[in-house]
Amino acid sequence: MSAEATSPGARSRRRGRTSIDLRRLGRAALLGPASRDRLPDAIGHVADAHRAHHPDADLLVLGKAYVLAEMSHRGQFRKSGEPYITHPLAVTLILAELGAETTTLTASLLHDTVEDTDVTLDQVRAEFGDEVCYLVDGVTKLEKVDYGAAAEPETFRKMLVATGNDVRVMSIKLADRLHNMRTLGVMRPEKQARIAKVTHDVLIPLAERLGVQALKTELEDLVFAILQPEEYERTRAVIADRATTGPSLDTIAVDVRRTLREADISAEVVIRPRHFVSVHRARLKRGEMRGTDFGRLLVLVGEDADCYAVLGELHTCFTPVISEFKDFIAAPKYNLYQSLHTAVAGLDGAVVEVLIRTHQMHRVAEAGVVALGNPYTPVDGAEPADGERADPTRPGWLSRLLAWQESATDPDTFWTTLRADLAQDREISVFPADGGMLGLPAGATCVDAAYAQYGDGAHGCIGARVNGRLATLSTVLVDGDTVQLLLAQGPVQAPGDAGGPGGERTGPVAGQAQEAAPGPSPEWLDHARTPAARIAIAGWLAANPESLKVPESEPRAPGAVTAGRRGVANVVVDVPEDATVRLAGCCTPVPPDDVTGFLVRGGAVTVHRAECSAVGRMAALGRSPVAVSWGDEAECRVTLYAESFGRPRLLADLTEAIATAGAAIVSANVEPPSEQRVRHTYTLQLPDAAGLAGLMRAMRDVPGVFDVRRAQHEPAS
């Protein structure tokens, strides 16, 4: 297929621009400049586009870069037959039209010289400086002779690392791929499909994340035409036979202009036709297409406040579709995008989508990071105090990507993981309980949050609280959640190890040995969405294969367990001596709790804690309380509830902690696990009520236990 066939809608998108004639540029490139004091004719398009955005730009450096590029590539031709210099010229023109600054354009002209000619990086540095040299090096491919099949993934790794220090590297790469896709028709079909697949999986998501919508939408259409030719032709036919039912966008645009003019709001209202992929998606979603489904209205104003004024007028004069309203001005998207989105219905019921933004917002929405110019220009000439240049374009997703790629040493793992990570096309923000913010892909779980916050320290995570409530590690987070990760107190180690990798075990009590945290389980891989979490978990499991085995129970010394029941409670009541006295099971009072008693059926006295809910119910029934006081005996009986996350040997560790504290287990009950949480109920005999607080602390210190409390519930009727 021809370049034109793989560039659907290019004419409408580039309306008003001077089209570039590759053959004419090729002839001009071979002929060179007309005179010594003029730029070469071949670069005239670039100069005009650049001056439109940067009127004061110095074009001499562009002429110098062009001369070096033309001389270096002279004699080289593209597969289409054009002189090779037409490629860097076209790539540079794409960036110039987006508003890239001079340094980026200079590097763009030279981006293939080091890769395909005898020019060296040292020559580029000597002629054009360190920044241009860094950008050229960042987009230079690695040799297949040196890397073999790993050349492509390792080249992308190199570009991503370079992008982490200067996002202009990826801007040049995206423009380079766009021009290659425009002229891909001369390639064999199988090579077209391979390049289009990589573009779909890697370059288009990167363009979306960097906010370069102008490049992203055209790349999507070019890929669509190659990978789904039948759907592409069907969509082309739908656009050609554009539905005429209902009012057209032109009619509604006239109504909107009149409404804003009457409200004395200065605004530009334009129609933005949907590109091919957008029409395809809308057709799949809506079925039959109406005239207003083939585009959107774009309202451009001068100030942020004007955006909301336009919104108010539209919602007043038209019927708003509330479910379609989104405010990306108050809460910008992670790729710098800002705009108000809404949809309104006219009197005849036709619905049209409306985008409202300022002219500056529109420029950033189209060009993304390219519109920022040079993001490393010092403010007022001052360099950062720490010697590192601040990068306002360094988003959270890029920082995460750079972090996990260091762990993915295998090229295949890196390539597969990169594609999977870029497939996550939305991002959320969650807030750790101790402050700060974590950026995570949509669909991330508490496992991902743990590794994002603690790195390898998350191996010891045993649970989480989301918005103050206990949650399992598999809980999917949503934008704005507050997350508190619960970590084990001991170091992480594989089962059977005598000590953890961090050295001696530590705990809340000095000198007290703690059970080591068991480490991540294989099930965590099912819940992890981020590459960093998956790589860390898989690495730990591979280094500790014994963790996959179910540990055998070790023989343990029998604890002191008392099976009998006391005949008389340790209380003094003002009733006949032969009356039966018992401690209420609903609140299990112990000395020195404030207590009160009530006569129940059979002449027995039940003793409750003063704050027990049963006391209020008894009083409501008109029953008089009985005076109760504690006796001289130190022993007491208490019922405790322990909440924990399930893990091997947890029950054994809890009973050992109870026995070590000197308590005897009268009865115990363990409920079946529910969502990885287990509830234990223990009735314990203590030799001294003063030891209750220490016992509860000892139980809480057992790894996996997150709460221990005394019984306090409604008694059974």
Q: How far is CA 57 from CA 26, 99, 376, 649, in A?
A: 25, 11, 17, 71
Q: How far is CA 98 from CA 54, 79, 223, in A?
A: 11, 27, 21
H/E stretch holding 88: helix 86-98
Q: What is the phi-psi region of residue 480: left when phi exceeds 0, alpha when psi lies from -120 to 50, beta otherwise?
A: left
Tokens of 204: 């288009």
Q: Which residues are catalytic?
A: 115-116
3-class DSSP state of 691: helix
How far is Cα 236 from Cα 427, in angstroms, rounded to an integer? 32
CB neighbourhood size of 326 (10 A): 12
Q: How far is CA 515 from CA 504, 518, 674, 695, in A?
A: 11, 9, 23, 17
Q: How far is CA 228 from CA 200, 279, 280, 307, 424, in A?
A: 12, 14, 11, 38, 22
H/E stretch holding 707: strand 705-710
Return all residues near 494 (Cβ < 8 A) that are at least 6 apart: 519, 543, 544, 546, 547
Positive or negative CA dihedral for 121, 122, 125, 131?
positive
Tokens of 252: 């509604």
Query: How many secondary structure helices (H) and strands (E) does the chain include?
Result: 28, 21
- Degrees (nearest 5) of the Cα angle 16, 18, 19? 115
Q: Quick one: DSSP state of residue 498? A: S
Give the residue from 420, 462, 385, 370 showing the smallest Cα distance to 171.
370
Q: What is the β-pairing status of strands 482-487 and 326-327?
A: unpaired
How far is Cα 688 from Cα 633, in angstroms, rounded to an integer? 9
* Contact call for residues 299 and 267 (beta carbons, < 8 A): yes
Half-sphere exposure for 443 (CA within 13 Å, toward CB): 12
How far is Cα 304 from Cα 338, in angstroms, rounded to an integer? 10
Q: At what angle do helices 102-109 and 60-73 cross, to 10 degrees?
A: 10
3-class DSSP state of 625: strand
Q: Beta partners for 608?
A: 596
Q: Quick one: DSSP state of residue 622? A: T
Positive or negative CA dihedral for 124, 129, 133, 135?
negative
How far is Cα 659 from Cα 657, in angstroms, rounded to an integer? 6
- Degrees (nearest 5) of the Cα angle 262, 265, 266? 115
Give the DSSP per-residue string, 567-584.
SS-SEEESS-TTS-EEE-
Give the residue from 688, 582, 679 showing the smallest Cα distance to 640.
679
